[in-house]
Structure 1
Amino acid sequence: MSVEAIKAAVERVRPHIRRTPVLRLEHCSDATIPSGTHLKLECLQVSGSFKIRGAVNRVKSLSAHAIAKGLVAASGGNHGLATAYMARQSGVPATIFLPTNASPLKEQKLRKLGAEVRYAGAVWDEAHQAATAHARESGAFYMHPFADDAIVSGQGTIGVEMLEQIPDADLYIIAIGGGGLIAGVSQVVKAMKPKARIVGVEPVGSPTLHACFAAGHVVRLPQVTTRVATMACGRTDESIYEIARRHVDDIVLVSDEAMQRAAELLWFEFGIAADLSGAASLAALMAGAVRPKPGERVAGLVCGAGVDGLSA
Structure 2
Amino acid sequence: MRVRVPPGDYRRRPGGPQSGPGRRPTHPRETAPVTAHVEIPGLTLTREDFERAREHVAPHVYHTPLLTSRSLSEASGFDIRLKAELFQRGGSYKVRGPLNVMAHMSEEEKARGIICSSAGNHAQGVALAARLYGIPAVVVMAENATPAKVAATEGYGAEVVLHGSIWDEANERALELVEERGLTYVHPFDHPRLIAGQGTLGLEILEDWPEVEVVVIPIGGGGLISGNAMSLKSVNPAIRVIGVESSGAPAMKRTVESGEMVTLETVDCAIDGLKVMRVGDNTASVVSRFVERVVTLPDEDIFDAMLWLMTRAKLVTEGAAAAPVAAVLHGLIDAPPGTKVACVLSGGNLDVEQLRGLSWN
Same fold? TM cut 0.5 = yes
Shift of 1:300: 0.7
- Give the fraction of aligned pairs with identical amino acids, expressed as a percent: 33
Q: Which residue of 2 aligns with 1:277?
A: 320
Alignment partner of 1:6 is 2:46: no
Q: Secondary structure at the match of 2:138?
A: strand
The letter for the 2-side match of 1:147 is D
Shift of 1:143: 1.0
Given that 1:125 and 1:234 are in contact with CA atoms closer than 8 Å, whether structure 2 keeps it comes out as: no
Structure 2 counterpart of 1:42, from 67, 73, 85: 85
Given that 2:92 and 2:349 are in contact with CA atoms closer than 8 Å, whether structure 1 keeps it comes out as: no
Q: Distance in 1 between matches of 2:321 and 2:230?
A: 21
Shift of 1:35: 4.6
Cα distance change of structure 1 residues 277 and 119 upon mapping to structure 2, 3 Å threshold: farther
The one-character-per-residue Cα deviations of 1:59-117 (angstroms, maximum 9, x if unpaired) are 11112210222221122411110111122223343222335786654333112223233
Structure 2 counterpart of 1:159, from 202, 218, 233: 202
The one-character-per-residue Cα deviations of 1:205-252 (angstroms, maximum 9, x if unpaired) are 221211101211112111223122222222222222111111001001
Alignment partner of 1:219 is 2:262: yes
Alignment partner of 1:294 is 2:337: yes
The one-character-per-residue Cα deviations of 1:151-204 (angstroms, maximum 9, x if unpaired) are 011011111111111222211100111111111110121222222211101112
Given that 1:210 and 1:251 are in contact with CA atoms closer than 8 Å, whether structure 2 keeps it comes out as: yes
Cα distance change of structure 1 residues 225 and 132 upon mapping to structure 2, 3 Å threshold: farther
Given that 2:121 and 2:349 are in contact with CA atoms closer than 8 Å, whether structure 1 keeps it comes out as: no
Q: Which residue of 2 aligns with 1:242?
A: 285
Q: Distance in 2 between matches of 1:213 and 1:65?
A: 39
- Unaligned ranges ≥5, structure 2: 1-44
The one-character-per-residue Cα deviations of 1:257-293 (angstroms, maximum 9, x if unpaired) are 2222212222222332211111111111123333433
Alignment partner of 1:184 is 2:230: no
Q: Secondary structure at the match of 1:277?
A: helix
Alignment partner of 1:110 is 2:153: yes
Structure 2 counterpart of 1:54, from 90, 97, 104: 97
Q: TM-score normalised to the size of structure 1?
A: 0.91
Q: Distance in 1 between matches of 2:162 and 2:267?
A: 17
Cα distance change of structure 1 residues 264 and 143 upon mapping to structure 2, 3 Å threshold: same
Q: Which has the higher contact order (CA 8 A, sep 6+)?
A: 2
Shift of 1:256: 1.9
Larger radius of gyration: 2
Q: Distance in 2 between matches of 1:99 and 1:211?
A: 27
Q: Secondary structure at the match of 2:333?
A: coil
The one-character-per-residue Cα deviations of 1:8-39 (angstroms, maximum 9, x if unpaired) are 111111111110001111145x9644453111
- Unaligned ranges ≥5, structure 1: none
Q: TM-score normalised to the size of structure 2?
A: 0.79
